[in-house]
Amino acid sequence: MSYKKILTIQDISCVGQCSLTVALPILSACGMETCILPSAVLSSHTGGFQGYTFRDLTDDMPAIQKHWQSENIRFQAIYTGYLGSIKQIEYVKDILSTMGTDDCVRIVDPAMADNGKLYSIFDEKYVEAMKPLCASADILLPNITEACYLSGAEYRETYDESYITDLLDRLAELGAKTVVLTGVGYTPEKTGVVIYENGNVSYYEHNRIAKGSHGTGDVYASAFTGAYMNGKSLFDSAKIAADYTVKCIENTQGDADHWYGVKFETALRDLMDMLA
Ligand code: PXL
């Protein structure tokens, strides 16, 4: 296994199995030295818990970046997720353009929406601010809802291949070079991921277990990043991340008390086997 230093920028939701509490263990299991830059600290994620706390860490970012620069620290990949404010998106854009090694891979998950809706703290201004960040990514990892917000396309629950091709064309127009679009299913039993690279489109289809499990976008993006940085191809990384996410959902299914996330820890061994 190759050993790489990667930086992931997203929030710490203390409870709820998403963002950094998912990315850090998954990337570590994938054999990466994982450095973190917390975008905010919340008592829980915002998807179903009531009365959560939110401490925005935007103002800490420039000093952290400056310290890393003074120590000559560089990252072979930078992977961003849920960010805390519009001002922060600007800082993150600068980190993406200055803190990478020459061969750095920049992966952006525009974690801001799902099931046709923006997450609770975000608005249209935030979406506008996300567009240039997404355009600067080497690999963009949106779900269909995020792709619609970014591209101005109408959100649909059911669609055909031409709708998806149009979405990908719009994202390419925005400046996204390579896109892995998640949650694309053409039948009620199946879902999958569409991989778009230099105008070529491929599709990996798998069983649809449950609709909209919490935190699965973060599980997917972390496993994708781990697989890709292990030298897997774009398609294989998208497939490994999908198979791992499905396993996490299967291992959580049937436990009604576990509505807030997936038991991703129970399938880390499977992920490591897939990378071997
Ligand atoms: O999983 C995405 C996510 C990350 N971080 C926070 C969230 C959510 C989704 O709701 O609320 C704080």
Q: Does 175 score more than 70 pLDDT?
A: yes
Separation of CA 82 and ligand 1 centre (Å) = 6
Name the residue range of residue 240's domain.
5-275
- What is the residue-wise DSSP string for the chain? ----EEEEEEEEEEESS-THHHHHHHHHHTT-EEEEEEEEEEEE-SSS-SS--EEE-GGGHHHHHHHHHHTT--EEEEEE---S-HHHHHHHHHHHHHSEEEEEEEEE---SEETTEE-TT--HHHHHHHHHHHHT-SEE--BHHHHHHHHTPPP-SS--HHHHHHHHHHHHHHT-SEEEEB---SBTTEEEEEEEETTEEEEEEEE--SS--TTHHHHHHHHHHHHHHTT--HHHHHHHHHHHHHHHHHTTTT-TT-TTS--GGGGHHHHHHHH-
* 56-109 pLDDT, tens digit each: 999 999 999 999 999 999 999 999 999 999 999 999 999 999 999 999 999 999
What is the spatial distance between Cα 61 and Cα 40, in angstroms, rounded to a whole number? 11
> Averaged over 28-47, what is the pLDDT?
97
Separation of CA 102 and ligand 1 centre (Å) = 31
Of the chain, the percentage scoring pLDDT greater than 90 comes to: 94
> Averaged over 31-43, what is the pLDDT?
98
* Residue 11 CB–ligand 1 contact under 6 Å: yes
| pLDDT score at 209 | 86
- pLDDT confidence tier of residue 16, bands split at 50, 70 and 90: very high
Question: To the nearest whole number, what is the mean pLDDT of the chain?
Answer: 96
| pLDDT score at 189 | 93
* 205-248 pLDDT, tens digit each: 999 986 668 999 999 999 999 999 999 999 999 999 999 999 99
Separation of CA 262 and ligand 1 centre (Å) = 13
* Residue 42 CB–ligand 1 contact under 6 Å: yes
What is the spatial distance between Cα 213 and Cα 236, in angstroms, rounded to a whole number? 23
Give the domain CATH number at 16.
3.40.1190.20
* Residue 146 CB–ligand 1 contact under 6 Å: no
* 131-166 pLDDT, tens digit each: 999 999 999 999 999 999 999 999 999 999 999 999
Tally of structural domains, the chain: 1
| pLDDT score at 69 | 98
